[in-house]
Amino acid sequence: MLRNYKDLKVWQKAYNLCLKAYKITTKFPSEERYGLTSQIRRASISIPSNIAEGYSRKHLQEYIHFLWIAYGSGAELETQLMLSKDIGYLNEEDFNDLILDYREVERMLSALAKSLEAKKLKSSKS
């Protein structure tokens, strides 16, 4: 039984992805502090934050909405990581590690949101 959002596997994985993103961006050039470093950190923290906020809302539709916002933040993060690799700020190993974690979170978010949408649809037909 889930007691709160921290019990959600997708939140735990998204939180760990955020931690990795923060650690890896410490290696970025200092001139990127307000550029890619900031953007990657903001996008990565947005994922578990929106999962938590949605879970804490009263209505299922709001929860679903916040899950899709988290999903969108993941797409932002993926784009920023690709750019970071292509301009040489991220090595291949760090990039692959982050992308694999991101893709797992992406799959889990999509599955959870779709499952909740199906549950909402089923309950509205009852």
Instruction: Look at residue 1 and tell me whether its pLDDT is greater than 70.
Output: no
Determine if the pTM surpasses 0.75.
yes
Please choose, from the candidates 83, 108, 75, 73, the residue with its C-alpha nearest in 3D space to the C-alpha of residue 25. 83
CA angle 71, 91, 45 (to 5 degrees): 30
Q: What is the SS3 string spanning 23-57?
A: HHHCCCCHHHCCCHHHHHHHHHHHHHHHHHHHHCC
- Residue ranges covered by each domain of the chain: 7-121
CA distance 87 to 126: 54
CATH superfamily of 7-121: 23S rRNA-intervening sequence (1.20.1440.60)
35-78 residue pLDDT tens: 999 999 999 999 999 999 999 998 999 999 999 999 999 999 99
